[in-house]
Amino acid sequence: MNFRTLDLNLLRVFDEVMAERNLTRAAGKLAMTQPAVSNALKRLREALGDPLVVRSGYGVEPTPTALSLWPAVRDALAQLRATFTPSAFVPAQASTQFTLAMADATASLLIPPLVAIVEREAPGVSLRVMPLTTRDPRQLLATQDVDVAVGHFPGVIASVSVEEIQPESAALFGHRRLYGSHYACVMRRDHPLASDELTLDAYCAAHHLLVSVSGRPFGHVDEGLAALGRTRRIVLTVNQFFTAGIVVANSDLLTALPRHFLASTGMASRVAVRSLPMKLARVDVEALWLRRRGARPGHDWPRRDRARCSPVVARALARRKSAARGNPGRRRGCAARSRGRPGRAAMIGS
């Protein structure tokens, strides 16, 4: 390849195609037609002597050569962009909107302190919160105008973490842990099972409510039971924690919730909380974003502020835990937690 004759505009097309893995979407981002993007790719293929991408399903997949070239091309373009279009984000002077996707319970914890920061430091900034209805928000972040998704998606975080350590690929997504908690069993205060320690047999024999933001009829608790060769009877599936609280407080159904979500149901004073009769992995709430959106001025500001919100969330959860000790309907659950696993309501990540 003769670098002196290479059209550097082709590298912008290459970068966008690699990020989108779809020629039509890349054309839209570049304000070009799809045939023009195809022609640019053809010229770059001829210059480099490699196909670069091949068709796969509804998009394209990069070749090993493309994967090896992309990190250097992306870094070079980012440096050029920063050089020619400097745009420091000043919160007090900014007038923009950030869109966040999260479940109602997550929003109830994070949004109040985040709004306080916005009103104090960035009066011209507005926030838009949309429901998170999937356990894999990568497609949402890649195809819609969403800055950050916040939630519990361990499979996605594991996949992204693997991408980050692969030397031949550029990670498409960034992530940060905000806080963590554990699942607990929630039932009405005068439920027959609330008077004693919850056994596995009694738990599996009861009727259950599942909270599933994605609509899946199978949750983390069911995965834990399946590992023990057990199942449970799910009578009702809902997609909101507030609805779950109302139903459980007024029925014989049990539900399993992360402890820090309990207050979001609005029914904390009317329910009893018991430790689950099996061990489940910790619920880590993470922020996930598309790295290529990081070039947007101020994109990292709401991420930093969500991190600042984490200590506020921790203090709020500690207050709720302290209040729970004085609630006779929950005292036995608190004692059981102290015997079983650590009773911390939240563990703050960096």
- Is 320 contained in some domain? no
Please tell me the distance from the alpha carbon of residue 252 to that of residue 208, in angstroms, as a whole number.
8
* Domain co-membership, 123 together with 147: yes
**Is the torsion defined by CA of 88, 94, 99, 103 positive or negative?**
positive
* Domain co-membership, 143 together with 189: no
pLDDT digits (tens, 9 = 90+) for 46-57: 999 999 999 988
- Is 350 contained in some domain? no
* Domain co-membership, 109 together with 161: yes
- Is 204 contained in some domain? yes
pLDDT digits (tens, 9 = 90+) for 128-185: 999 998 889 998 888 788 889 999 999 999 999 888 887 666 678 989 888 888 999 9
- Looking at the structure of the chain, the number of domains it has is 3
Cα separation values, 320 from 103, 138, 231, 268, 314, Å: 20, 33, 32, 9, 10
* Domain co-membership, 207 together with 296: no
CA atoms lying within 13 Å on the CB side of residue 107: 17
* Domain co-membership, 13 together with 64: yes
pLDDT digits (tens, 9 = 90+) for 199-249: 999 999 999 999 998 788 888 899 999 999 999 999 999 988 889 999 999
- The C-alpha angle with vertex 178 and arms to 216 and 109, in degrees rounded to 5, equals 75
The set of residues, in sequence order, having a beta carbon less than 8 Å from that of 176 and lying 6+ positions away, is 286, 287, 303, 306, 307, 349
* Domain co-membership, 194 together with 267: yes
* Domain co-membership, 16 together with 156: no
* Domain co-membership, 34 together with 107: no
* Domain co-membership, 132 together with 56: no
Domain coverage including residue 97:
91-180+285-314
Mean pLDDT within 41-46: 93
* Domain co-membership, 117 together with 205: no
| Residue-level pLDDT at 82 | 66
Q: Write down the pTM of the prediction.
A: 0.63
| Residue-level pLDDT at 322 | 55
Please tell me the distance from the alpha carbon of residue 197 to that of residue 272, in angstroms, as a whole number.
12
**Is the distance from CB of 9 to CB of 43 less than 8 angstroms?**
no
- Is 326 contained in some domain? no
Looking at residue 11, which CATH number applies to its domain? 1.10.10.10
* Domain co-membership, 15 together with 143: no
Please tell me the distance from the alpha carbon of residue 91 to that of residue 139, in angstroms, as a whole number.
29
Please tell me the distance from the alpha carbon of residue 163 to that of residue 181, in angstroms, as a whole number.
26
Cα separation values, 295 from 35, 85, 160, 162, 240, Å: 27, 10, 20, 23, 34
Query: What is the distance of C-alpha 217 from the center of its chain?
Result: 20
Please tell me the distance from the alpha carbon of residue 332 to that of residue 194, in angstroms, as a whole number.
9
